[in-house]
Amino acid sequence: STIVVLFTRDLRLHDHPALHSALSEGHRVVPLFVLDPAVLAGAARNRIGYLVEALADLREALRERGGDLVVRKGDTVTETMRVVTEAQADSVHYSHDVSAFATARSRRLDAAARGAGVRTRSFPGVCVVPPGEVRPTGGDHYRVFTPFWRAWEAVQWRQAHPAPTRVAIAETVPVGRLPEADLADRWGVGSLSPDRGRGGETIAREAVRAWLASGLESYPQMHDDLAADKTSRLSAHLRFGCVSPLELARVARGRPGGDEFVRQLAWRDFHHQVTAAFPDLNRRDYRPRDTPWRDDPTGFAAWCEGRTGIPVVDAGMRQLIQEGFMHNRARMITSVFLTRKLLVHWKAGADHFHSLLVDGDIANNYGNWQWSAGTGNDTRPNRQFNLMRQAKRFDPQGEYVRRYVPELAGVAGAAVHSPWKPEVESEGYQLPLLEL
Ligand code: FAD
């Protein structure tokens, strides 16, 4: 028999439960990816850039194993059912995902397949612990991280699957062309962030090896240091599933620095289980709150462009433009500045992040934005964040600011954080939008 394995945000061969199951039953498989306009239209061009590279890498890896990646364009459900007919397949396997879009898509696929007498099966693979597997008594999801984390840690994680050595593909299916490198430009406006990270499982696995060998150990001490840039930078690889979060958690756990790092992967799972239960996370307050939002198009535009006159905020926002990435501490600082100082609605900020982040995903981006804005899962939603203190603590020498704000490159040391002081030489850098 033949099984279509529908790839979405799980673009890898290692530890791929849906693929593994299809192959271990001794079937022929048709690995399929559908370029769906409904997905591409909403995706940041930086993410499309990553996707194009990841698909090329996946096809190459499948070809090395005697298989191929079938690529189609159009509505995912329609195209999948077409391929099912061409391959005379009797099942479709896919990885379970949580966004409102993904949930609706799998429901439609299940219904279309049922109508055609074809079986569908969904598998884990997007999270370490599948959403819904741990639940609080009497609730459908955890609203607070710490109890979630305790339950999450106590779960017996499944074993990771090795990559298959051979993949036999049904020969009746035309494989289709990979998207070209300019796909991002055709769907988006302008070009990609010049220093964005590259995509694909091969690069991702190399990045994991390098991280385990020389980053993980210092993670607990260094992860908040803006200038040191000593976090894993694996987020985009996790976003597209080029790295299996479970495999990563398994190899990191118990190593020096590993437990602190694995806790961050639990945050990722946490936001995914929230999204599964509250699919409107990107549209509505998770925890309703009476915040006096302001309409401030000028302030918002200055924030987007990194021209607020607050150096650490501008550095973060310019890193985002340049790299399609921002350090976690800077994401916290910039989001708090927008929502708690400028009082601009979190959705505007989150949408802007989403239009640039290579790692942008509904659960993590909108979940974290709501946390920052005080409408999310923070147990202390009125938490005071002193931005100047944050800047001096996490960029004590001002190196992070000088790296991204060239107008201030000539200002030595921590003075770079207060360019408005008369003794600081900061010509060409704007005055602050507001006093902190
Ligand atoms: P590391 O510190 O090395 O962490 C390892 C992995 O753990 C990350 O790759 C990520 O998958 C996960 N992780 C770490 N922190 C968090 C967190 N707070 N929430 C959820 N998962 C986490 N992360 C995204 O992956 N996509 C987003 O769109 C996103 N938007 C954010 C928006 C705001 C306002 C804030 C405050 C945070 C956001 N984060 C997002 C979380 C975090 O900033 C990034 O995951 C992290 O900076 C990625 O860098 P890294 O891979 O080097 O992280």
Residue list, annotated binding site = 219, 231-235, 261, 359-361
Tokens 């107008």 locate to 407
The response to whether residue 361 sits with its C-beta less than 6 Å from ligand 1 reads yes
Let me know if domain 297-417 sits in CATH 1.10.579.10. Answer: yes
| pLDDT the model gives residue 188 | 54
CA of 325 to the centre of ligand 1 (A): 10
Q: Which two tokens stand for residue 313?
A: 């905020």
Judge whether 21 and 164 are in contact, CB under 8 Å: no
- Which residue's CA lies nearest to atom 15 of ligand 1? 264
- Which residue's CA lies nearest to atom 9 of ligand 1? 235
- The CATH number, out of the four listed (3.40.50.300, 3.40.50.2300, 3.40.50.620, 3.40.50.970), of the domain defined by the range 2-126: 3.40.50.620
- Which residue's CA lies nearest to atom 29 of ligand 1? 365
CA distance 105 to 120: 13
Closest among 58, 20, 59 to 200, alpha carbons compared: 58
| pLDDT the model gives residue 184 | 67
Closest among 221, 232, 228 to 399, alpha carbons compared: 228
pLDDT tens over the chain, length 436 residues:
899 999 999 999 999 999 999 999 878 999 999 999 999 988 899 999 999 999 999 999 999 999 999 999 999 999 999 999 999 999 999 999 999 999 999 999 999 999 999 999 999 999 999 999 999 999 999 999 999 999 999 999 999 999 999 998 877 899 999 987 777 666 554 578 989 999 999 999 999 999 999 999 999 999 999 999 999 999 999 999 999 999 999 999 999 999 999 999 999 999 999 999 999 999 999 999 888 999 999 999 999 999 999 999 999 999 999 999 999 999 999 999 999 999 999 999 999 999 999 999 999 999 999 999 999 988 888 878 899 999 999 999 999 999 999 999 999 999 999 999 999 998 899 999 998 8
pTM for the structure as a whole: 0.97
SS (H, E, C) 115-146: HCCCEEEEECCCCCCCCCCCCCCCCCCCCCHH
Residue list, annotated binding site for FAD = 219, 231-235, 261, 359-361
- Which residue's CA lies nearest to atom 17 of ligand 1? 267
Domain ranges of the chain: 2-126, 127-160+200-278, 297-417
Tokens 């890896």 locate to 61
CA distance 418 to 56: 47
Amino acid at 28: R
Look up residue 435 and give its DSSP letter: -
CA of 218 to the centre of ligand 1 (A): 18
CA of 63 to the centre of ligand 1 (A): 33
- Which residue's CA lies nearest to atom 42 of ligand 1? 328
- Domain at 127-160+200-278: CATH code: 1.25.40.80
Concatenated DSSP letters of 295-334: --HHHHHHHHHT-SS-HHHHHHHHHHHHHS---HHHHHHH
Tokens 């999204």 locate to 275
Amino acid at 204: A
Residue to substitute in 226, 264, 286 for testing ligand 1 pocket (most ligand atoms within 8 angstroms of CB): 264
CA of 153 to the centre of ligand 1 (A): 19
CA distance 14 to 201: 9
CA of 368 to the centre of ligand 1 (A): 8
Nearest-atom index, ligand 1, CA of 265? 7
Residue to substitute in 126, 359, 383 for testing ligand 1 pocket (most ligand atoms within 8 angstroms of CB): 359
Helices (H) and strands (E) in the chain, counts: 19, 5
| pLDDT the model gives residue 171 | 78
User: Phi and psi (nearest 5°) for 358?
Assistant: -70, -35
Residue to substitute in 251, 260, 368 for testing ligand 1 pocket (most ligand atoms within 8 angstroms of CB): 368
The response to whether residue 404 sits with its C-beta less than 6 Å from ligand 1 reads no
- Which residue's CA lies nearest to atom 34 of ligand 1? 369
Judge whether 403 and 330 are in contact, CB under 8 Å: no
Contacts of 302 (CB under 8 A, 6+ apart): 308, 309, 430, 433
> Are 2-126 and 297-417 equal in CATH topology?
no
